[in-house]
Amino acid sequence: MGVSARHYSPALSLTLIFPLLLLLLAGFLYPIGLLIKLSLFNPDLDFSSYRRIFEQPLYLDVIVRTVKIGLVVTAASLLAGFPVAYAMTLPKSRINTIAAAAVFIALWSPVLVRSYAWIVLLQRNGVVNRIFGELDITPAPLKLIHTEGAVMLAMTHVLMPFMILPIFAALRAIPAEYVRAARNLGADRFSTFLRIILPLSLPGVFAGCTMCFILAIGFYITPALVGGPGTLMMATVIGQQATVLLDWPFAAALATVLLAVTLVLILVFRKTLSFNRGFDNVG
Amino acid sequence: MSAEPNAINQKPLVDRSSMPRLARPYRSALATVVAGFVLSAILFFLVLPTLVIVPISLNTAAYIDFPPQGLTLRWYLQYFNDPDWMAATFFSLRIAVATSLSATVIGTLAAIGLVRGNFPGKNLLHALSLAPMIVPHIVFGVALYLVFAPLQLTGNFFGFLIAHTVLAVPYVLLTVMAALQRFDFTLELAALNCGASRTRCFVYVVLPNIAPGVAIGAVFAFLASFDEATVAFFISDTGGKSISRKMFEDIDFNLTPVIAAVSTILVAISLLLMATIQHVKCRREL
Amino acid sequence: MIGQALTLKGIRKRYKENLAVNDVSIDIDAGEFVSILGPSGSGKTTLLTMIAGFESPCAGQIAIGGRDITPQAPNRRNIGLVFQRYALFPHMTVGQNVAFPLRMRGIGRAPTRDRVKGALELVQLGAYEDRYPDQLSGGQQQRVAVARALVFEPPVLLMDEPLGALDKNLREAMQFEIKRLQSKLGATVIYVTHDQDEALTMSDRIAVMANGNLVQIGRPTDIYQSPVSPFVADFIGRMNFIDCDYLGSEGGEGVVLLAEGLTLKTPLPGPIDQAKIKAGMAVRLAIRPERMSLVQAGSNGAIPGRVEARIFVGSFQLFLVRIKSRGNPLVQIKIAATGEMPVADAGDEVGIRAQTAAIHIFPGQGGQ
């Protein structure tokens, strides 16, 4: 192997990456390794925690609910997010600036704050119920908070920017000439959208859906605050088992299952995710 | 093409004159209005939560009240005067600043190594270093809790620092690696040709050009730590509590407009920092 | 014949303070091949954009076959357009791309299939129907773009610098192809280009544009031999410019003063410039390099000069001669290479002659 001006020597490279390597080994891989070990060894090899997860209907329910909420939230984010991404590409500067600003505000407000805001909106004497009360829409305050609907609504809100940005990137990459060509060849605006813009935006749609779903199934903050005992998701159950019920091996098993599912999803869908060119799209 | 006489060129191939002439502009106008309405509703949905906490934080009533009855700053004052809140705030700030520093240093060095370096397992390390972004925070948080709790390390500054640096480094890596890859490598070759050594070349030519990327990465790292709620929840305790953990607890047990005031401040900090970055990015127009 | 006449009347387009197209009027006959030639920023692409309907003119009318199409949306104009970078839809096969305009017009499956086949045969790509654009070379993509623009038999075909991205040999082959198709179909073609060789070889007429104005329109020979201004003269082919003073007319010819004691006979100023050129005024002469000859220094009626360089260009030689007239300009003389020894060498004193008829006379600096 010759020496190239382009590359640093292996010795220098290894020195540069050494702090990161140390950090990842000690601060990331070790705790997670310990987590997995704890789920399996108690102190001997023991699959009882895993059996509990897949045999007890309570936990199966949780898994099903988590997947269901993940799918619903992803679909809702797609339906609501695509128009926003499209609006961000429109040439008239006012519309796309407003849309971009709205996405910016939603994306960079801390998740905790946004979840708290949903409590403010949906609680028994919260904003929505108050307005309904003033306008006499309903006789008594509705139970909005701590329902599955509330969790879906709040999570859709939190995850929408992660759907919008990949779609925006895909739309923006479509050369304006294709639209002109389609128009010149006789397509009206609707046909142009349906046959040219939509198909070419699909890589972004897939990337957004994948990201949204993966984030949704692992979400803790929003379901913990906005959800209730009847809306347990994987993450909330894990938290409960670890800190309240103190059944650490079980919590570790649940966490390992979630981790495994996440990793599998990422591996299977890594092609769609590689479309998303990382942080250039965000912010 | 066919040799038949072309009657086609006398009129368009699809006779659209059969459509009522007036309906067309009205139909598209109606479609535009409906689309605009739907879009506005969605955009409103996006910003509503962020905006709604502001009037709540300024409301005179002690319970969550809407519409606000009067304006007051007392919730903000209460926040600044509360020793628990202030302790949590400073704890989070110290950690965020320290995280920003450590993540930026570790991340920038590693970015250089990953982009310019040549060593076995480079791709594996790259994938691994982005892993903290992929792994759900609940998994990482519980894993850390399970490591720290037996050792009484919850609420510990350095425990937090390590945890948050792990979470923040991927952001620094992404931005600095992008900056390095955008950097025109022929500039470095020109510097070498002019006689600069490898190090001087890096310090005088490469570093100034990637500095904005490094700075942006530092800000991302700060926010990644300051805004982080899940992991912080699990590794806080009474001795060291992050601001997000305190918010979490108060939402459960002590729901007052003080939380709205704190929220407004947090939003303001995040949005201001990101707006500054956006502004810098636009001005440089990399 | 599928072509129809295209008329542009008083087309004007303004972008903020910039007048991109200024009062352009052109009448194009059915089946004619007209090139719009000009440097970048001349407004030629803007003009094309307006004919296609992507922008509206601020003033003026566009008509095809006598029908005013100015208010029509771009998808209803039924005009063929070949884009500079082809704009083939990447998610559709070649066949689907070419079928697209037929689909938009609601033509049934069977006739569409036949017409797509026919269009692809026309551009000699019949076997490529199921390929995707990214599997094709630049030249092949070009031809698919042409097929797609022709498949619905439009009365007018617009081409926006379609050969710019191709290498020289391919470009020449494609020029020939396009001309062949055009005469076979009788299509009316408007061809935008900045390459004057392309315009000269392909067009029935050339419209030269500069700064948004139509400067001259005419057959290639007319544009080449009778340019109406120094700009057109210089834009098409090479041109030598010599500044001097107009002395007046004498026996049906003009006389100019190049330097002390050195006069030259020129044609009389043309009708446009007659008002501007009077005795005593500065004028600018324009002469093609191939219309000048080298003679012995001191010959009767020759302009004295010194050869600064002799350049061998294959089929001809180029002599750069510094002549002894106002400003000591450097003129180029183009002489066919005949296999004999070069006519003169660097450093030689020579004389330059030009036939009176080959000289163009324009107003001096300040005139267009």
- The minimum CA-CA distance between A200 and chain C, rounded to whole Å, is 7
Taking the C-alpha atoms of residue C185 and residue C206, their distance in angstroms, rounded to an integer, is: 20
Q: Give per-residue pLDDT as tens, C64-100.
A: 998 999 998 888 888 999 988 888 998 899 999 999 9
Chain C residues with beta carbon closer than 8 angstroms to that of A196: 89
Taking the C-alpha atoms of residue C14 and residue C21, their distance in angstroms, rounded to an integer, is: 7
Mean pLDDT check: name the lowest of B52-66, B167-181, C7-21.
B52-66
Q: Assign A53 a pLDDT band (cuts: 50, 70, 90).
A: confident
Q: Give per-residue pLDDT as tens, B13-43.
A: 344 444 444 456 677 788 889 988 999 999 9
Comparing CB atoms, the residue among B49, B142, B274 nearest residue A121 is: B49
Q: Quickly count: other Cβ atoms within 10 Å of residue C73's Cβ.
A: 13
- The minimum CA-CA distance between A174 and chain C, rounded to whole Å, is 10
Residue C155 touches chain B, beta carbons under 8 Å: yes
Cβ A152 vs Cβ A73: under 8 Å: yes
Using CB atoms within 10 Å of the CB of residue A186, give its burial: 0 to 12 exposed, 13 to 18 middle, 19+ buried: buried
Cβ A81 vs Cβ A212: under 8 Å: no
φ, ψ (nearest 5 deg) of residue C244 = -160, -170
The percent of residues above 70 in pLDDT, for chain C, comes to 98
Do the chains contact at B9 and C119, CB–CB below 8 Å?
Answer: no
According to DSSP H, which parts of C27-167 are helical? 44-52, 94-104, 109-122, 138-150
Residue B1: pLDDT above 50? no
pLDDT of residue B150: 85
The chain B residue lying nearest A157, using CA atoms, is B46
Do the chains contact at A186 and C75, CB–CB below 8 Å?
Answer: yes
φ, ψ (nearest 5 deg) of residue A274 = -70, -15
pLDDT of residue B4: 39
Do the chains contact at C83 and A200, CB–CB below 8 Å?
Answer: no
Q: Give per-residue pLDDT as tens, B35-78.
A: 889 999 999 999 999 998 998 888 887 666 666 678 888 889 99
Comparing CB atoms, the residue among C81, C85, C88 nearest residue A184 is: C81
Mean pLDDT check: name the lowest of A221-230, B237-246, C24-33, C261-270.
C261-270
Q: Assign A277 a pLDDT band (cuts: 50, 70, 90).
A: very low
Rounded mean pLDDT, C204-232: 92
pLDDT of residue B6: 36
> Higher-confidence residue: C303 or A74?
A74
Pairing of β C188-193 and β C33-37: parallel
Residue B155: pLDDT above 90? no
pLDDT of residue B188: 78
pLDDT of residue A21: 93
Residue B112 touches chain A, beta carbons under 8 Å: yes
The chain C residue lying nearest B16, using CA atoms, is C76
Chains with ≥3 CB–CB distances under 8 Å to A: B, C
Cβ–Cβ pairs < 8 A, chains A and B: 270
Q: Quickly count: other Cβ atoms within 10 Å of residue C92's Cβ.
A: 17
Residue C269 CB partners (closer than 8 Å, separation 6+):
C254, C276, C277, C283, C361
Residue C90 touches chain A, beta carbons under 8 Å: yes
Q: Assign C24 a pLDDT band (cuts: 50, 70, 90).
A: very high
Q: Give per-residue pLDDT as tens, B90-104.
A: 999 999 999 999 999
Chains with ≥3 CB–CB distances under 8 Å to B: A, C
